[in-house]
Amino acid sequence: MNYLTYLPVWAKLTPSQQDALTTSASLRTFRKNAVLHNGSADCTGLFLVLSGQLRAFTISEDGREITLYRLFERDICLFSASCIMNSIQFDITVMAEKDTEVLVIPSETYKAIMEMSAPLANYTNEVMASRFSDVMWLIDQVLWKSFDQRLAEFLLNEAAIEGTDTLKITHETIGKHLGNPREVVTRMLNYFAGEGLIALSRGTIKILDEGRLARIVDK
């Protein structure tokens, strides 16, 4: 099975471009919580997600985190190959949220083909625009939304991703997704629990009233 056919642009590449990608790409697996890419120090290559789930986030000087976006099966991680473009002047970290299998495309191979191939360059444009849209959504959230709205939306989104209303997640991890200290998360979760929206127990959060959580998001 050639996973490179997951690339929507695959059929528009020349046979020699396809060969170059096939020859250079390699399969890698990462355990949950493994770091795949760390800032600008490494230009690891592009990751094509075959299974599992990745989290891309940014870290403040004093170690606080906020999630920028998630990547799922058939998504491509561009910024782990930031050296393919001079104008990418920011660092992100990419971590496996579940055991994850990826196809790694070396940066130099991808860059060389992109410089010649309008289809691959335009595909790359679309991928970047899609991540840009994610980050613009995040700006909207952190600037204009209150924390109860953001937390309610996060819980509903996690339940949708995991396909369950019982989430196994710590308050600290939620804080790293949302860019807030753990205590702030705990205080709001306790408030939600007091209102009967969720039930808290050791290491889990059970959603009791999805409708009211959704109304908090839209308030």
Euclidean distance between CA atoms 186 and 174, whole angstroms: 9
* 87-116 binders of a second copy (CB under 8 A): 87-90, 114-116
How far apart are CB 59 and a second copy at their closest, in Å?
9
> Among residues 1, 11, 41, 139, which is the contact residue for a second copy, using CB under 8 A?
139
Q: Do the beta carbons of residue 206 and residue 199 sit within 8 Å?
A: yes
Euclidean distance between CA atoms 116 and 12, whole angstroms: 12
Check residue 60 for interaction with a second copy (CB under 8 A).
yes
Where residue 16 falls (left for φ over 0; alpha for ψ -120 to 50; beta otherwise) is: alpha
- Residue 67's nearest CA partner among 77, 58, 79 is 58
Euclidean distance between CA atoms 128 and 206, whole angstroms: 35
Binding window for a second copy (CB under 8 A); candidates: 38-46, 80-88, 148-156, 196-204? 80-88
Check residue 35 for interaction with a second copy (CB under 8 A).
no
Binding window for a second copy (CB under 8 A); candidates: 35-43, 47-55, 85-93, 155-163? 85-93
The site for a second copy (CB under 8 A) is made up of 58, 60-62, 64, 66, 85-90, 114-118, 121-122, 124-133, 135-140, 142-144, 179
